[in-house]
Amino acid sequence: ALDVKDVDSFRSLAQERGYEVKTAAGIRPSARSVSGITNARELVKWAYDRETEVGDITEPLEIDDYFVVAVLTGSREQGAPEFEDVKDDMELAVIKEKKAEIMEAEIGTDYSGLDEVANIWGSTVQTASGVALNNPSLPGVGNEPKVIGTAFGFDAGSLLLPIRGNIGVYVVQVDDVTRVDTQSIDLSAEVRSLQTTLRNSVTGQAVNALNKAKGVKNEIDRVY
C-alpha cells in the first residue's frame, strides 16, 4: 500500500519517485479513456463507485502497458454546478474573451490586405484550400466553424473584418468560391441514411422518455 494520506503527499511521492502525474477533470460515467489513458473503464468505474470517496487512492491498476495509481480529488453532484466548481473554467473563458477583444481593437478595420495585417503582428499569411461548409475544421488550425461559416457568406475577392474564432482572431480574404449545382445532386442515398438513423433512434428515445416519466435512473455505466 502507498504511504500517502492526502492529495499533496500523493503528488510529492509521485514526483519523488519520478512518476508522471496527470490531471483529469469532468470525467463522465461513460468515459472509456482518461487523460490520454485508453481502456480506462476500470478506473472510471472505481471513481463512480458509491463506496469511493474524495481522497481515496486506488491500488495499482494494470491498464495496457502501464500501472496506474489514481486519487479522487473531487466530485460534483448532478445538476447545475457550484460556482467554485466552474470558477477556473470561467476565468479562462473571460481571459480568452478579453484577449480577443484587444486583438480585434489592435487589428482594427482600416487595412488594405492580409500582408498589412500580418506585418503588424509579425506573422505570415496562410492559405487554406479545399475548405467546405460542411466541415468546420480549418486546415492547419483546427475547429473553427464560425470562421468558415462567415467566409462562406462572402463572394470571391472579399476582405473580411476580424473574425473571433475558437483559437484566435482571424482576418480572411476569400480568394475563390466554387458553387455546387444542388439541382444536379442525387440526394437519395443521403435521405435513406437519415431515415435509417431516425428509425434506429426511435427505440432509444422512447425508452429514455419512459425512464424520465417514471423516474428511472440508468446507471449501467457503473457496471460496464
CB within 8 A of 93, min separation 6: which ones? none
How confident is the model at residue 224, as a pLDDT?
Answer: 67
CB within 8 A of 162, min separation 6: which ones? 103, 104, 107, 109, 169, 170, 171
Asked if the model's pLDDT at residue 207 lies above 70, the reply is yes
pTM: 0.58
148 with 134: CB under 8 angstroms? no
Domain boundaries, the chain: 7-68, 83-170, 188-222
Backbone angles phi, psi at 163, to 5 degrees: -115, 125
Report d(CA 54, CA 10) in Å as an integer: 13
Across residues 48-74, what is the average pLDDT?
88
57 with 4: CB under 8 angstroms? yes
Place of cell 434506429: 200
Tens digit of pLDDT for each residue in 109-145?
Answer: 888 889 998 888 888 899 998 898 888 898 888 899 9
Across residues 154-158, what is the average pLDDT?
92
How confident is the model at residue 59, as a pLDDT?
Answer: 87
Measured CA to CA in angstroms, residue 171 lies from 38, 54, 174 at distances of 38, 47, 10
Tens digit of pLDDT for each residue in 4-49?
Answer: 767 788 888 888 888 888 888 888 888 888 888 888 899 999 998 8
Asked if the model's pLDDT at residue 1 lies above 60, the reply is no
Report d(CA 223, CA 87) in Å as an integer: 32
- When the pLDDT of each residue in the chain is averaged and rounded to a whole number, the result is 87
In this structure, the strands spanning 142-143 and 137-138 are antiparallel
